[in-house]
Amino acid sequence: MKVTETLARFVLNTTLADIPAQAQEIGKRVILDCLGVALAGSRDPLAKIMTGFIKELGGRPKVSVWGKKFKTSGPLAALANGTFGHALDYDDINRSMRGHPTVPVLPAALAMGEELGASGRKVLEAFLIGVEVETKLGAGINPHLFEGGWHPTAILGAMGAAAASAKLLKLSLEKVCFTLGIAASLASGLRQNFGSMTKPLHAGHAAQNGVTAAKLAQKGFTADREIVEAKLGYANAFAGAGKYDLNKIVANLGQPFDIISPGVGLKRYPSCARTHPAIDAMLDMVVQNDIHSEDVKSISCAGSYTTPTMLIHSRPRTALEGKFSMEFCLALALLERKVELPHFNDQKVQDPKIQRYIPKVSFFIRPDLNNIENSGNPSTTVKILMKDGREFTKTVDEARGTPGNPLTQEEVRDKYRQCVKGIQAKKEMEKTIEIVENLEALKKISALADLLRGPDKK
Q: pLDDT tens across 109-128, in order?
A: 999 999 999 999 999 999 99
Helix, strand, or coil here: 417? helix
Average pLDDT for 255-280: 96
* CATH number of the 273-396 domain: 3.30.1330.120
Q: Dump the DSSP string for 265-320.
A: BPPSSSS-GGGHHHHHHHHHHHHHTT--GGGEEEEEEEE-TTHHHH---SS--SHH
Q: Dump the DSSP string for 216-230.
A: HHHTT----TTTTTS
Q: Decide the pairing of beta strands 296-303 and 361-365.
A: parallel
Report the predicted TM-score, pTM, of the whole model to 2 decimal places: 0.94
- Residue 389 — φ and ψ, nearest 5°? 95, -15
Instruction: Please report the pLDDT score of residue 376 as a whole number.
Output: 85
Question: Please, which pLDDT band fits residue 159 given cuts at 50, 70 and 90?
Answer: very high
Q: Which of 455, 448, 371, 311 is nearest to 28 (CA)?
A: 448
> Distance (Å, rounded) from C-alpha 120 to C-alpha 348?
41
> Distance (Å, rounded) from C-alpha 341 to C-alpha 328?
14
- Residue 289 — φ and ψ, nearest 5°? -110, 5
Mean pLDDT of the chain: 96
> Distance (Å, rounded) from C-alpha 91 to C-alpha 327?
21
> Distance (Å, rounded) from C-alpha 259 to C-alpha 371?
26
Amino acid at site 282: M
Q: pLDDT tens across 305-321, in order?
A: 999 999 999 999 999 99
Q: pLDDT tens across 285-309, in order?
A: 999 999 999 999 999 999 999 999 9
> Distance (Å, rounded) from C-alpha 270 to C-alpha 441?
31
Question: Please, which pLDDT band fits residue 455 given cuts at 50, 70 and 90?
Answer: low
Long-range Cβ contacts of 187-191 (<8 Å, 24+ apart): 187/154, 187/155, 187/158, 187/159, 187/234, 187/238, 188/154, 188/155, 189/150, 189/151, 189/153, 189/154, 189/155, 190/149, 190/150, 190/151, 191/146, 191/149, 191/150, 191/151, 191/309, 191/310
Query: Residue 192 CA to chain centroid, in angstroms?
Result: 17
> Distance (Å, rounded) from C-alpha 91 to C-alpha 36?
9
Q: pLDDT tens across 183-218, in order?
A: 999 999 999 999 999 999 999 999 999 999 999 999
Instruction: Please report the pLDDT score of residue 456 as a whole number.
Output: 56
Average pLDDT for 50-75: 96
Q: pLDDT tens across 339-391, in order?
A: 999 999 999 999 999 999 999 999 999 999 999 888 888 999 999 999 999 99
Query: Residue 19 CA to chain centroid, in angstroms?
Result: 22
Average pLDDT for 399-409: 92
Instruction: Please report the pLDDT score of residue 458 as a whole number.
Output: 39
| CA angle, residues 309, 91, 238, in degrees to nearest 5 | 45
Average pLDDT for 48-54: 97
Average pLDDT for 28-41: 98
Report the percent of the chain where pLDDT is more than 90: 95
| CA angle, residues 309, 236, 104, in degrees to nearest 5 | 60
CATH fold of 3-267+417-453 reads 2-methylcitrate dehydratase PrpD (1.10.4100)
Q: Is the dihedral of CA 42, 201, 155, 397 positive or negative?
A: negative
**Could you tell me the residue ranges of all domains in the chain?**
3-267+417-453, 273-396
Burial 130-160 (b: 16+ CB within 10 A, else e): bbbbbbbbbbbbbbbbbbbebbbbbbbbbbb
Average pLDDT for 260-267: 96
Q: Is the dihedral of CA 206, 207, 212, 218 positive or negative?
A: positive
Average pLDDT for 260-273: 95
Q: pLDDT tens across 82-98, in order?
A: 999 999 999 999 999 99
Q: Which of 242, 158, 275 is nearest to 206 (CA)?
A: 158
